[in-house]
A and B are shown apart, each in its own frame.
Chain A
């Protein structure tokens, strides 16, 4: 089950078993140091496990980049309630496809990561919430879980460590909103997937009103390597404030799109040119989305000297996000890109709060009209104004996710909007490039 041709520039930690025959099987996993991290963790105190994760500088891979060790330490250990581990495999961010390959090629790595988190916070049950459209992954995951149960890697008294853990899969119904942690928990509980009011945060009141650790698939998958080889070794792979590697989903106008595991802080230019094999048909870079469609867009100039890590992205006022890189070449129509992105968010808005429900619909309407050459000069400011007033004002981050790319496109590519003003057809339509959103 090879996903794409690996690149020699990759640092393969999470993907080390990719490409091996039967990489998803327990035998292959055990033959390649599988479950060693868990066995090591089982001999450690919970605080030591969390400390190790803190040393590793592992930051949440779902998009927000919150330090994982710190998140785990928020779970009140003294709480008499049961604690849960929930894996967010609701990978819905446009441009992102890393969790899929991690589960498909190495499901046991995820199980081991969940077990380690369970040891760290004293949880004895976990749920893997898989995106509705990823139905086929459920089979792979269920098979791996069954295999783990059969061989004593899940269930009662795992491998004589005295640790009990049960793991279940749960499938969503295909809503972007359910990737938001509190909406995911609602959906997991069998309710409608709408975000919860916060505080309280899931670490205190999560699944079924109990303390819950909720992380992305990639975050959990990093845990076995951290425990096995030590947090310091993992941290050393990355940059000072973000350790390890990052799964990069390289999409858009590159010659070799695919999922690559690159060390934190990998140069963007090198990634596009060498890992991705350069931009198709020798065109030039126009725009760059570093972490899925909800991140502010960067121009080619802003990519100069930029590296793929949280702080470097933050310095350019964008985000590493989920690592869903979208590369757009010079023939891309940015108005169309903005329109496509907004179409997605307007479709996915849950409708709870007014700015998001009404705002995304308005932005979609204006941007569609704009692209169909019906825009006015006032519309350009209107789009920016609505988006800016949505940012930070909505109930959950979906509104921000819709606003951020829009604001950046309007600000950085204003001239393209002007080219679309009333009566003028889209100057890029002949190139008929489609953004791979």
Chain B
């Protein structure tokens, strides 16, 4: 430990502590411009100068970089220090008179107006003050070195190489983050042109998955984390006191042996971009159901308030049912849940923003317990419901009142007229559709899919959770669109079915099954490729195929296909059948 005196206060600090840090421990404020706790000291702004007593007299040193020494006597507010700081700020203010951070420091030093007027005067509040934080962050922290200082002396400026778009830039945004004047702006836009705060994705590379996450620990998004792109940064490791951040963790594949599998892979939502008439991604304030759900969430980007892109609450909101469902061009089936969540939106949006609500429906499907009552309640609250498909969503005219507003064109089939409804926001209740990878998953477990792409149950009424493959069960939207109570009921049923098998301890199998006569099997594996139940595996050591008798349904596909006649029905070899025939005919 080192003892030193700052402004008459004696303190003890660890070796290597800078004067700036020591002063901050003592609550002594020292202004800085080019200092950042996560970036190496630069000592360029000279605003943090302090006076140190040396054997040869008093010396002004930059406190951000000079380390404490035993017995040092430091003054942070002497007349020399203040004069030096004042000059720095005066020179800066002469060039950048409106930058808030400069004005703040100048006011603290009682500096009102600089004595000079600069031809390089830059009146902007967000001017670049050449503090170099961005350049150093890009170099030291990110390791990309995409920007640096160009030219020298008074011509100095921050630039990319040759002022061209830099190939080294990884668009991490670190430069914008450290910029004290917001001169560097980072505008992340996804392919749909939405501002980042309305994305469902996290805004930062290290983030809390949700405010109520269990376990409540942050995750690192490998694709946006600087460390995984350049190998540098790791500032989160530096600031994490318990040392909990670990960049070396990798995804693990765990093999578990199980007897039964419940396939509950859920669903995807329909992307309404191809339905050009709804202008999703083309016009502002057109959202999908999930995006609005995120907006309504109290931990969401707007804190649960319903807001337009310009930050104002909407005056009228259109809610379009059946987007991509009950539609010959996309999905013929009904997504089942949309009517009810559309009514919920009608209720919540009206309650939170007071906006006029218009629901556009084909048929109102309030099928569950208490649903019809909720529908009536929403109607009583004053939501407008219009029976008719929306033909298109367009930008309303450019008159002042309508600026930025949207126009919904539809046919009101109950009154038999075309209508144009002006709204500020459109919510598209997009369809539930099978997951992208449903086909692969289906193939993996030998599951069939119905024409709509959802997994097929063994029997729609008598066995709605089992599949044609023994031991494989389905539940939830993987089997078809359904709402939460239905999903829970189906999942419980599936779990009970599986528990029943487990508690029984054994499974009954049909005697009808295929069998391999190993002496004839050439190991060609034609059978295993054909088996619809994934019951045939290949035994590499003996170079023969093998039938899992618990999975085999005895369909005979493999028997018919086997080129060497090695695959036979158990108890139904040609010899046995011939012998039976002979026996029958012998009578």
Contact = CB atoms under 8 A, between A and B. Distances in A.
A351 interface: yes
A355 B43 contact: no
Given A351-B155, A395-B44, A358 B149 contact: no
Contacts of A352: 44
Q: Which size class do B's interface residues fall under?
A: 20 to 34
Interface stretch (A4-12, A213-221, A359-367): A359-367
A347 B153 CA distance: 7
A2 interface: no
B17 to A, nearest CB: 15
A393 B84 contact: yes
Nearest to A381: B115
A390 B154 contact: no
A360 B33 CA distance: 20
Nearest to B129: A354
B220 interface: no
**Residue of A366, A386, A393 with most partner-chain B CB within 10 A:** A393
Given A351-B149, A355-B91, A357-B153, A389 B83 contact: yes
B49 A351 contact: no
B152 A175 contact: yes
Nearest to A350: B152
Contacts of A360: 153-154
A353 B43 contact: yes
Given A390-B87, A393-B60, A355 B153 contact: no
Nearest to A385: B87
B20 to A, nearest CB: 14
A395 B43 contact: yes
A100 B94 CA distance: 41
A150 interface: no
Contacts of B84: 355, 389, 393
B39 to A, nearest CB: 13
B60 A392 contact: yes
B116 A357 contact: no
Given A197-B41, A197-B65, A393-B60, A355 B156 contact: no
Interface in A137-184: 175, 177
A382 B49 contact: no
A346 interface: yes
B95 interface: yes
A42 to B, nearest CB: 39
A393 B49 contact: yes
Contacts of A366: 116
Interface in B122-162: 130, 148-149, 151-156
A109 interface: no
A358 B59 contact: no
A416 interface: no
B152 A355 contact: no
B46 interface: yes
A394 interface: yes
Nearest to A388: B83
A349 B43 contact: no
A349 B46 contact: no
Contacts of A365: 116
B46 A355 contact: yes
A192 B161 CA distance: 13
A346 B46 contact: no
B46 A395 contact: yes
Interface in B59-101: 59-60, 65, 83-84, 86-88, 91-92, 94-95
Contacts of A394: 46
A348 interface: yes
A349 B154 contact: yes
Contacts of A354: 33, 44-47, 88, 91-92, 130
B145 to A, nearest CB: 11
Contacts, number: 86
Nearest to B47: A354
Contacts of A358: 91-92, 94-95, 154
Contacts of B91: 354-355, 358-359, 362
Interface string B146-181: 001101111110000000000000000000000000
Given A353-B45, A362-B116, A393-B60, A348 B83 contact: no
Given A389-B83, A392-B59, A351 B152 contact: yes
Contacts of B94: 358, 362
A346 B88 CA distance: 16
A382 B153 contact: no
Given A197-B65, A353-B44, A393-B84, A346 B49 contact: no
Interface string B197-227: 0000000000000000000000000000000
A359 B153 CA distance: 10
A34 to B, nearest CB: 41
A357 B94 CA distance: 13
A197 B41 CA distance: 9
Contacts of B47: 354
Interface string A386-425: 1001101111000000000000000000000000000000
Given A350-B152, A360-B153, A395-B43, A355 B116 contact: no
Contacts of B148: 192
Nearest to B156: A351
Contact of B46 (A350, A362, A386, A393): A393
A349 B130 CA distance: 15
A361 B44 contact: no
A361 B153 contact: yes
A390 B83 CA distance: 10
A388 to B, nearest CB: 8
A351 B153 contact: yes
Nearest to A393: B84
**Residue of B42, B44, B59, B84 with most partner-chain A CB within 10 A:** B44
**Residue of B41, B154, B155 with most partner-chain A CB within 10 A:** B154
**Residue of A359, A362, A386, A395 with most partner-chain B CB within 10 A:** A362
Interface in A322-368: 346-355, 357-362, 365-366
A353 B154 contact: no
Contact of A353 (B41, B46, B86): B46
Contacts of B41: 197
A389 B87 contact: yes
Interface in B324-338: none
Contacts of B49: 393
Interface in A111-150: none
Nearest to A352: B44
A359 B87 contact: yes
Given A349-B154, A361-B154, A355 B60 contact: no
Given A359-B91, A392-B60, A393-B84, A350 B44 contact: no
A395 B60 CA distance: 11
Nearest to A389: B87
Contacts of B149: 192, 351
Nearest to B119: A365
Contacts of B87: 355, 359, 385-386, 389-390, 393
Given A197-B41, A358-B91, A390-B87, A351 B46 contact: no
Interface string B453-465: 0000000000000
A378 B153 CA distance: 26
A353 B47 CA distance: 10
B153 A346 contact: yes
Which 10 A-B pairs have CB atoms at the shortest separation, nearest pair first? A351-B156, A358-B91, A389-B87, A349-B153, A361-B154, A353-B44, A351-B153, A393-B84, A351-B152, A354-B88
10 contacts: A192-B149, A349-B152, A354-B91, A361-B154, A365-B116, A382-B116, A393-B46, A393-B84, A393-B88, A395-B46
Given A351-B152, A357-B156, A395-B43, 7 more contacts: A175-B152, A177-B152, A351-B130, A357-B130, A366-B116, A393-B84, A393-B88
Interface of A: 175, 177, 192, 197, 346-355, 357-362, 365-366, 378, 382, 385-386, 389-390, 392-395
